[in-house]
Structures are given as structure tokens and as C-alpha cells.
Structure 1
């Protein structure tokens, strides 16, 4: 399997979720199953079936996170020498040249991307257009509404 690029922060978040699933959620589900079993006939026992289904989701998520972490190529952007260029993990402030709106995005792995929190996937058209560029460069990003010019205002490695 190919390595999955991931920021240090993204890997830490996955490890925290894994710890929560293993130490809090898994024991709670096991207790729910044991409690539901005490209610007798398992064929008619909705609590038992709900707890077993939740257990399946929990175990599936644990396996998924473990697989992602085992294939993660964790990149600590604070320790890289990017020579002032946009790289994976960088936080980039850009200006829409036409509307004069400013935006700030961090370029992250696919699993970490969350547009509401300004985390964009390294594979997104925006990130692909920004990678390798420097402050004051103007990049043209193809959007569904047409080409948009963005000027790079600031690049941070935080």
C-alpha cells in the first residue's frame, strides 16, 4: 500500500481518536452488550442488536485508523526547509485578485481535509495550483465558475 502524506497534527488527532475508541468506547459497548444479554431472548432484544452494530462500527473504525497510521508518512512542516515555497503542510494566505477577498488555507492529506476549518487536500485543484509557488506569485485556479486569479500573500510553516 502507498504511503499516505499526513501532517503531524493530523496523525496526533488520529492517535487520540484511536485511544478514545480503545479505552472508552470499546469497553462501554462491551458493557452494553453484557447488560443487554441479561435481558433474555437475543432475537427480540433491540438493545443487544444496537450494541452489536455499534461494536461493528467501532471495531471497523479502529482497524481503519490503525491502517492509516501504519501507512502514514508524517510530515512535520516546521522542520522542513521549503525555501519560501508552498509545500505540503504549509499555511497559505491568498488574495482573490478580482473580489479582493482574502483566504487562508493549510494544505493537508485527504483524510485531514475539512473545508469548514480551512484545511484543503493536497490533491485539491487549489492546493495543486499553490504547491511550489512563492509569496507574490499569482496563480490561476480553475473553478466551476471559471478561472480565478489568486495572489499569494503569506506562507507559514506552523
Structure 2
């Protein structure tokens, strides 16, 4: 079971719809066009299009499985006061003396550029169930980081 936000669920549904309606049609057209060029045994374009179709069908199947197991979280049911999935967390990086803000999300929604980190990441794992004022140390590939929890928003 995969817990995710309504926004993440809707985005995944849109991606799947686009892949099934637009990308799959484009690949089928490319296969048909390559097939019209003659001998398939030595037709590079045909084999490349078939490989692309296979990759796309694999991605579609994966997204379908994720959606089948997805559960949208009701934000009103999240426990107040501690860091949980879908929380916005304000932190002070005590190692570098700087402020950072993250939202803890499902791995399929993670995007560091948007400040969304996976609940499976080392930082999120260390922050789970912490409260404002708590300090945590996190071992990451770059070394040891120390954070203080400044704010939690749901």
C-alpha cells in the first residue's frame, strides 16, 4: 500500500492518461511507419520503435500498479504535533547554520527542487515522530548532518 497526497495521486493519474493516450499512439504510429518501409529483419527503425513500445508498456504497467495500491491520505487524520507523511517541516541545519524547508512525501512524489523529500530518505526517516525543538543527527552519504525542528505544518 502506498500512501500519497491527493495532488500526487492526481498527477500520477494524469501521467498515466498521457502515456496511454498520447505516447502509446505515437509509438504505434512509429511502428506502423517503420513496418511500411519493408523488410523487418534489417529494419532498425522498426526494432527501435518496438523497444520503445516495450519500455513504455512497462512504465504504464508500473504506474497502474502504483495507482492500484495507492491510498490518498486524509489530512485531517494526521496526528498533530509530530512529523508525519505530508508534513511541511522547517528545520535549521545546525551543521551549516542555514534554514531549510521540506515536505515529506511518498517516494513517487519526491522532488528535491520543489523541497519534497521521500519518506524513505535518511533525513525523513530521522525526522519521523519528532516535535518542534527536537534535534536529530542524520548520517547521509555526504557525512553527518544535525538538524533542529523549528516548525511543523500539516
TM over 0.5: yes
Match of 2:64 among 53, 63, 66: 66
Cα distance in 2 for residues equivalent to 1:66 and 1:81: 26
TM-score scaled by structure 1? 0.87
Cα distance in 2 for residues equivalent to 1:63 and 1:117: 27
1:118 partnered with 2:115: yes
- Deviation, 1:146, is 5.1
Whether the 8 Å CA contact 1:94–1:154 is kept in 2: the answer is yes
Cα distance in 2 for residues equivalent to 1:147 and 1:47: 50
Structure 1 portions without partners, runs of 5+: none
Count of residue pairs brought into register by the alignment: 154
- After superposition, the C-alpha distances for 1:79-103 in whole angstroms (9 at most, x for unaligned) are 3342222110111110012422111
Match of 2:152 among 142, 147, 155: 155
Structure 2 portions without partners, runs of 5+: none
TM-score scaled by structure 2? 0.89
Cα distance in 2 for residues equivalent to 1:148 and 1:41: 60
Paired position in structure 2 for 1:7: 5
SS in 2 for 1:132: coil
Cα distance in 2 for residues equivalent to 1:142 and 1:39: 56
Kindly report which structure 2 residues correspond to 1:39-118, keeping only aligned pairs within 5 A, or say none. Answer: 39-77=37-75, 79-118=76-115
